[in-house]
């Protein structure tokens, strides 16, 4: 009996260690409306909109989310320069109308990143594979990517001084 309880306890503890994280992407969200709200917020705050397109089924999507959340330097830069929107792509909701309006970024795989300016115009699409090194996201490359597409970096007045 003690062995049986020990085995059951191990199974319960082990399965909780590998449990799915809480949902990062919301398949029920109206992506078009959420993006529009983000654009309005970006305009008011002088930021860009960062779309992380993927799904809760995607290990690399979850890995990127956790990577940014756990790197204080990158997180602070993102918070200061971007309004972030997680756009769902899954069997429940592929958001194909939104992806079509963004020139089909899903062709690069998932996650895929799209940067919009504060008027909602797409200014860059990024294949996330270019930000990886040795099976993980590279902090230097990720921060460089965010810096290169920040509002200050793409402001022509920055280069006329």
Q: Are 51 and 57 in contact (CB under 8 A)?
A: no
pLDDT, position 30: 97
pLDDT, position 77: 98
What's the pTM value of the predicted model, to 2 decimals? Answer: 0.86
Alpha-helical runs (H) found in 18-138: 31-45, 59-70, 72-81, 96-101
- Beta-carbon neighbour count of residue 111 at 10 Å? 28
pLDDT, position 39: 98
pLDDT, position 15: 41
CA distances from 42 to 7, 22, 45, 129, 149 (A): 52, 26, 5, 26, 14
pLDDT, position 1: 53
What structural domains and CATH numbers belong to the chain? 27-152 (3.40.30.10)
Strand order of the β-sheet with 112-116 is: 82-88, 48-54, 112-116, 122-127
pLDDT tens for the chain, 161 residues long, are: 555 444 444 444 444 444 455 799 999 999 999 999 999 999 999 999 999 999 999 999 999 999 999 999 999 999 999 999 999 999 999 999 999 999 999 999 999 999 999 999 999 999 999 999 999 999 999 999 999 999 999 999 988 76
- Beta-carbon neighbour count of residue 139 at 10 Å? 15
Can you tell me the distance from the alpha carbon of 13 to that of 49, in angstroms, rounded to the nearest whole number?
40
Can you tell me the distance from the alpha carbon of 28 to that of 9, in angstroms, rounded to the nearest whole number?
36
């Amino acid at each position: 009996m003690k062995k049986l309880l020990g085995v059951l306890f191990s199974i319960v503890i082990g399965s909780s260690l590998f449990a799915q994280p809480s949902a990062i992407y919301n398949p029920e969200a109206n992506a078009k409306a959420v993006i529009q709200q983000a654009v309005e917020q970006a305009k008011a705050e002088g930021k860009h909109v960062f779309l992380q397109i993927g799904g809760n089924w995607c290990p690399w999507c979850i890995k990127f989310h956790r990577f940014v959340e756990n790197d204080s330097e990158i997180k602070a830069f993102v918070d200061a320069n971007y309004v972030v929107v997680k756009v769902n792509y899954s069997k429940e909701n592929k958001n194909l109308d939104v992806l079509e309006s963004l020139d089909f970024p899903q062709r690069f795989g998932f996650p895929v990143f799209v940067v919009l300016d504060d008027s909602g115009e797409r200014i860059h699409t990024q294949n996330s594979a270019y930000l990886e090194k040795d099976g993980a996201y590279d902090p230097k490359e990720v921060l460089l990517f965010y810096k290169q597409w920040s509002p200050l970096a793409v402001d022509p007045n920055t280069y006329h001084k």
